Amino acid sequence: MNVTVKEQMYEGKAKQVFATSDPEIVMVHYKDDATAGDGEKKGTIRDKGIVNNKLSNALMQKLEKEGIPTHYVEELNDRDTLVKKVSIVPLEVIIRNVAAGHFSLRMGVAEGTTFKTPILEFSYKDDSLHDPFINHYYALALELATQEEIDTITAYSFKINEILKKIMLDANIKLVDFKLEFGRLSDGTIILADEISPDTCRFWDATTGAHLDKDLFRRNMGGEADAYQEVMKRLLG
């Protein structure tokens, strides 16, 4: 795609977003910066930006083939990708297959317990409020999304879970849980946005149970840079 990259529009904790000469397209730049516990812990994970860029792009292309519309347009290089410009729906959608993290803390269910059916959760995407847990009535009451949008987001999220579970298991990785964000195109169409990466998913080795994701960083366990490389190697060869 022939576009010129222009000024930075936004800088988040792990990515920067740049305008381009096409008003419907932005460029995402993936950094190695990592935060945990609401930005309380700050650090970097070597070459994380490369892994997250390449992995997220590959997974979004596979999802597109299965009928999920995504923001992916074109990978420019190791860290930069053109994506469709959206306004982000301020909901973090979490899908859980196995108990872990905040679910285990909240519910007193041991990490590693597999659920009978997958769980979908919403959080309100607001760092200053620490992304509080909400349900879909909050989203409707506060006009974060319409009922129709919530139905679309819910259907896409469960379908994405089925597709990703299979892709990961083929790489001997258990998909424990993950977080998705959706956006609206200028015509209102809902598409998958943000990223799918070891920052936003819990990946456990299907044989050993070893963590292959950002929990290594969040929990000060070490080895996160190597784990990210391992996930990339297993999925992209």
Give the binding range for ligand ASP (CB under 6 A) out of 31-39, 77-85, 106-114, 159-167.
31-39
197 binds ligand ASP (CB under 6 A): no
Strands (E), 37-88: 41-44, 72-75, 80-84, 87-88
Work out which of 15, 48, 202, 211 binds ligand TMP, going by CB under 6 A: 202
Question: In the complex, what is the shortest distance from the CB of residue 79 to ligand ASP, in angstroms, rounded to a whole number?
Answer: 19
39 binds ligand ASP (CB under 6 A): yes
101 binds ligand TMP (CB under 6 A): yes
CA distance 111 to 51: 26
Work out which of 35, 123, 157, 197 binds ligand ASP, going by CB under 6 A: 35
**Which partner in ligand ASP, ligand TMP, none is near 122 (CB below 5 to 8 A by kind)?**
none
177 binds ligand TMP (CB under 6 A): yes
Question: In the complex, what is the shortest distance from the CB of residue 7 to ligand TMP, in angstroms, rounded to a whole number?
Answer: 27
In a 3-state reduction of DSSP, which class is residue 199?
Answer: coil
125 binds ligand ASP (CB under 6 A): no
**Which partner in ligand TMP, ligand ASP, none is near 182 (CB below 5 to 8 A by kind)?**
none
- The answer to whether 16 and 7 are in contact (CB under 8 A) is no
Work out which of 99, 196, 214, 228 binds ligand ASP, going by CB under 6 A: 214
Exposure string for 181-206, b = 16+ CB within 10 A, e = fewer: bbbbbeeeebbbbbbbbbbbbbbbbe
94 binds ligand TMP (CB under 6 A): yes
Comparing CB distances to ligand ASP, the nearer of 36 and 58 is: 36
How many alpha carbons lie under 13 Å from residue 226 in its C-beta half-sphere?
Answer: 5
Comparing CB distances to ligand TMP, the nearer of 38 and 226 is: 38
How are beta strands 72-75 and 114-124 bridged, if at all?
Answer: unpaired
- Residue 19 structure tokens: 């305008």
How are beta strands 5-11 and 72-75 bridged, if at all?
Answer: unpaired
**Which partner in ligand TMP, ligand ASP, none is near 218 (CB below 5 to 8 A by kind)?**
ligand ASP
- Tell me how far apart the 2 most distant CA atoms of the chain are, in Å: 52
Q: Which residues contact 4 (CB under 8 A, 6 or more apart)?
A: 20, 21
- The answer to whether 211 and 204 are in contact (CB under 8 A) is yes
Residues at the site binding ligand ASP, with contacts judged by CB under 6 A: 13, 35-39, 214, 218
Residues at the site binding ligand TMP, with contacts judged by CB under 6 A: 94, 100-103, 131, 177-179, 200-202
